[in-house]
Chains A and B, each alone.
Chain A
Amino acid sequence: MRSKLTLMLTPLLVLCMTFSFAQEKTISGNVTDQNGLPLPGVSIVVVGTSTGTQTDFDGNYSIGASVGQVLRFSYIGQTTVNRTVGSANSINVQMQEDAQALEEVIVTGQGSGIERRKLSTTVDVLNEEEIDKLPANQIDQLLQATAPSAQIRLSSGQPGTASVIRTRGPISAATSSTPVVIVDGVRVDNLNSNPQLGLATGGLQSSALADIPVESIERIEYIKGGAATTLYGADAANGIIQIITKKGKDGRSSAFFESRVGVISATRDFLKYERTGEALFANGFSQEFRVGINGGNENFSYNFGGSLYKDDSFNLLNEQVRRTFTFGLTAKISDKLKYQGSFSYVNFDSNLDYNANTSFSRFSAFEGAGRGDLDLLTDEEWQAELDRSNRIGPLVDNTATNNRFTASNKFIYDFTDNFQANFTVGIDNRNTVQELLQSNALLVALGSIAEGTTDQGSLSRALRSSFTVTGDLNFTHKANFENFSFVTILGGQFFRTTDRQNQLNGSGGVDGTRSLNNFSEQTFADFVLENANYGLYFLENIGLWDVAFVELGGRLDRNTSAGNNTSALFLPKVGATYNVSSHDFYRDSEFSNILSTIRLRGNYGEATNFAQPFSQDRTFSQNPFLGGPSFTFNNPGNNDLISETVQTTEFGAELGFFRDRLFLSGTRYMATTKDALFTPQASPSEGQFNQIANIGEVENKGWEFELRATPIQTEKHTLSLNVSYNTNENLVTDSGGAPSFVVGGFNVLGSVVDEGQSLGFLRGTAAVLQDDGTYAFETNSFLGDTFAPNFGSMSLNYSWGKFNLFANADYQFGGKITDLSFLLRHLRGFDNTGIPEELVGATSPFNYVNFFVFDNDFLKVRTIGASYDFGEIGKGLFSNIRFGITVSNPFNVTAGGFDPETTGSGISAQNGFASGGFAYGIESPPRIFMSSLKFEF
Chain B
Amino acid sequence: MKKIIITIFGGLLLFSCTNGFDQVVDFTEVENPNLSEGSVVGVENSATILLSGVERELAFALNEILILAELGSDNYVNTQTFFSQFLDGLEMQATDPDIRDTARDIHRLRELALFGLETVGPGDPNYNTDIEAEFNFFAGMASLYFGMYFSALPGEPFGVPLTDVQHYQNAIDFFDAALALNAQPEYHLAKARANYYLGNQSEAVSAAQAALSLSTNFDRFALFDQANGPVNAFENALYQRATFDDLQPLPTLDFLDPKYSFLNTDQDAPVHYLKAEEAYLILAEANLADGNAGAAQTNISDLLDLIATREVRNIDDSIEQRIEVDPGSRPDNAAVVVNGRTGLVLDRQSGNVNVPSVSGTSLTAGDISSFTADDAGLELLYRTRQEVFIAEGLRFADMGVKLIIDENEILLNENISDGDPGTVPVIPSFISAVIPDLDAITYDATAGTATTAIDLNQILVANKTAPEVLPFH
Contacts and interface: CB of A to CB of B under 8 A. Distances in A.
B112 A828 contact: no
B52 A534 contact: no
B49 A739 contact: no
A523 interface: yes
Interface stretch (A416-424, A442-450, A653-661): A442-450
B387 interface: no
Interface stretch (B90-98, B294-302, B338-346, B456-464): B90-98
Interface string A281-292: 000000000000
B22 interface: no
B107 A685 contact: yes
B30 A683 contact: no
A847 interface: yes
A742 B244 CA distance: 21
A683 B108 CA distance: 11
B21 interface: no
B97 A631 contact: no
Nearest to A625: B56
A742 B32 CA distance: 27
A486 B120 CA distance: 64
Interface string A484-526: 0000000000101000000001011000000000001101001
A619 B35 CA distance: 5
A386 B270 CA distance: 38
A686 B28 contact: no
Contacts of A621: 34-35
A430 B107 CA distance: 42
B97 A747 contact: yes
A371 B58 CA distance: 37
Contact of B95 (A358, A628, A780): A780
A618 B242 contact: no
Contacts of A847: 91
A684 interface: yes
Interface string A593-634: 000000000000000000001100111111111111111111
Contacts of A624: 225, 227-228
Contacts of B101: 684
A623 B56 CA distance: 9
B110 A619 contact: no
A843 to B, nearest CB: 7
Contacts of A746: 82
Contacts of B111: 633, 686-688
A530 B115 CA distance: 30
Nearest to B94: A779
A846 B40 CA distance: 43
Nearest to A827: B80
B15 interface: no
Contact of B80 (A508, A622, A747, A828): A828
A614 B33 CA distance: 9
Interface string A779-819: 11000000000000000000000000000000000000000
B406 to A, nearest CB: 5
B267 interface: yes
A632 B241 contact: no
A458 B72 CA distance: 34
Nearest to A618: B37
A861 to B, nearest CB: 36
Nearest to B99: A684
A935 B428 CA distance: 82
B103 interface: yes
A748 B96 contact: yes
A579 interface: no
B408 A681 contact: yes
A494 to B, nearest CB: 6
Contacts of B408: 680-684, 739
A508 B319 CA distance: 18
Given A560-B28, A624-B225, A451 B318 contact: yes
Given A619-B36, A622-B35, A625-B225, A450 B53 contact: no
A719 interface: no
A635 interface: yes
Interface in A418-469: 446-453, 456, 469
B56 to A, nearest CB: 5
Contact of B228 (A449, A625, A681): A625
Interface stretch (B2-10, B153-161, B389-397): B153-161
**Could you say which of A360, A451, A627 has the most chain B C-beta atoms within 10 Å of its C-beta?**
A627
Interface string A709-723: 000000000000000
Interface in B208-256: 223, 225-228, 240-244
A370 interface: yes
- Which of A530, A531, A632, A739 counts the most B-chain CB atoms under 10 A from its CB? A632
B50 interface: yes
Contacts, number: 209
Given A447-B319, A631-B46, A828-B325, A747 B95 contact: yes
A528 interface: yes
A392 to B, nearest CB: 13
B142 to A, nearest CB: 9
A278 B89 CA distance: 39
A691 interface: no
Contacts of A359: 241-244
B273 interface: no
Interface stretch (B165-173, B367-375, B409-417): B409-417
Nearest to B240: A448
Contacts of B33: 526, 528
Contacts of A40: none
B267 A629 contact: no
A450 B316 contact: yes
Interface in A395-422: none
B407 interface: yes
Contacts of B325: 370, 372, 828
A358 B242 contact: yes
Interface in A864-922: none
Contacts of A531: 30
Interface string B20-61: 000000011111111111011000001001101101110000
A686 B27 contact: no
B266 interface: yes
A372 B327 CA distance: 11
A129 to B, nearest CB: 39
B227 A507 contact: yes
B19 interface: no
A560 B30 CA distance: 7
B52 A684 contact: no
Nearest to A615: B32
B322 interface: no
Nearest to B415: A685
A235 to B, nearest CB: 15
Nearest to B348: A450
A521 B266 contact: yes
Given A560-B28, A619-B32, A688-B108, A631 B50 contact: yes
Given A614-B34, A685-B413, A626 B27 contact: no
Interface of A: 358-360, 370, 372, 446-453, 456, 469, 471, 494, 496, 505, 507-508, 520-521, 523, 526, 528, 530-532, 534, 560, 613-614, 617-635, 680-688, 738-739, 742, 746-748, 765, 779-780, 827-828, 843-847
Given A532-B28, A684-B104, A846-B85, 17 more contacts: A359-B241, A450-B316, A450-B318, A494-B27, A532-B27, A614-B32, A619-B36, A620-B35, A625-B228, A626-B266, A626-B267, A628-B49, A629-B49, A630-B52, A631-B35, A631-B40, A687-B107
Question: Nearest 3 pairs between A and B by C-beta?
Answer: A521-B265, A747-B97, A687-B111
30 contacts: A359-B241, A359-B242, A360-B242, A372-B326, A447-B319, A450-B318, A469-B27, A496-B27, A508-B264, A526-B33, A560-B30, A614-B32, A622-B49, A625-B56, A630-B56, A631-B49, A632-B56, A683-B158, A683-B412, A684-B408, A684-B409, A687-B104, A687-B157, A738-B412, A739-B407, A739-B411, A739-B412, A747-B95, A748-B95, A780-B95
